[in-house]
Structure formats: C-alpha cells, structure tokens
Amino acid sequence: MEDKNKIEAILFITGKFLSVSDISNMTGIKSEEFIKETLENLKKDYETRGSSLDILNHEGKWKLNVRKEYLHLTDNLLSDTELDRPTQETLAIVAYKNPVLQSEVIKIRGNKAYDHIKILKEEGFITSEKSGRTRLLKLTPKFFEYFDVVEDNLKLKNEKE
C-alpha cells in the first residue's frame, strides 16, 4: 500500500508523463514490473470510482490528469491562486524532499523549474544557498505558516520513508 501511495504521489506532484523507469528512480522501487502492475491497478481504481481524475498511459508513459469533463473547473481555480500550477508543483517537490538540491528539482521538473524557483524565492517560500556546483533549496518559516504545516510533522514523514 505504501508503494502504491508513493507512485500515486509522484504522478500527482510531477503532472507530466513519466516512464516506468522515471517512477522507479523517483520512488526507489526497483521492480519495474511491480510499478507497471500498480499503475494498471491505480488506473482501474480511478475508473471504478468514477473519479474526476484519470491515469493516462501514452506510449509507455504515465500521467495523472483531470478528466476532460472537469477541466473547466480547474481553469477557474488556477487563475484565482497566487502561484500558478507548475510553480505549485515545483514547490511540492521541494517540500517533499526538503532540503533538496536545485539540480534534483530541475531533473524532476525540467528547465522551467528555474523560473519557478525564482518566483518561490521572491515570494519567500524557499531559500537557496550555494552547494558545490548547484544550490541547496530549503523551506522557509513563511512556507510552514502559509500552508499551515508543522515542520516537525514534515520531518517525521520524511524520516519514515
């Protein structure tokens, strides 16, 4: 169950098509066959529940997506938020891995994440300090206050994995 949740979280956070190999690297789950089975089961779960979400498989790559009939709802919501969705997803990666090397975030999110990181630093949600050839990204107290997250709970969650 924990591995299934990890796979689902990765699909949710990245918001893009991922290969089974990508998912394996991000979750630390070695068996690609297990990942494929889990993805198929998750896809069936979403279909059976009649969820507004759907797991798509295109040319061997997987993505969690909002079903077409509900996209109109998300357009309105995303325009009302302070951070656009891609920036929020980059922040979710930083929060999940806190602290994390900028190079790792870029590897997961792509080159657009440089822009997201700049915005997140300007908004005061993360800090950045030099670490070798890259930068170390950390959450700020503003992040914990704004999102009403207790830092110790986030640390405990990360230690359990």
pLDDT of residue 148: 66
% of the chain with per-residue pLDDT over 90 = 52
pLDDT of residue 41: 95
> Is the pLDDT score of 80 beyond 50?
no
pLDDT of residue 135: 96
State how far the Cα of 34 lies from the Cα of 89, in Å rounded to an integer.
Answer: 26
pLDDT of residue 112: 94
Q: Which domains does the chain have, with CATH numbers?
A: 2-71 (1.10.10.10), 83-160 (1.10.10.10)
A 10 A CB-CB count for 78 gives: 13
Average the pLDDT over 34-44 and give the result.
Answer: 95
pLDDT tens column, 81-97? 578 889 989 998 999 88
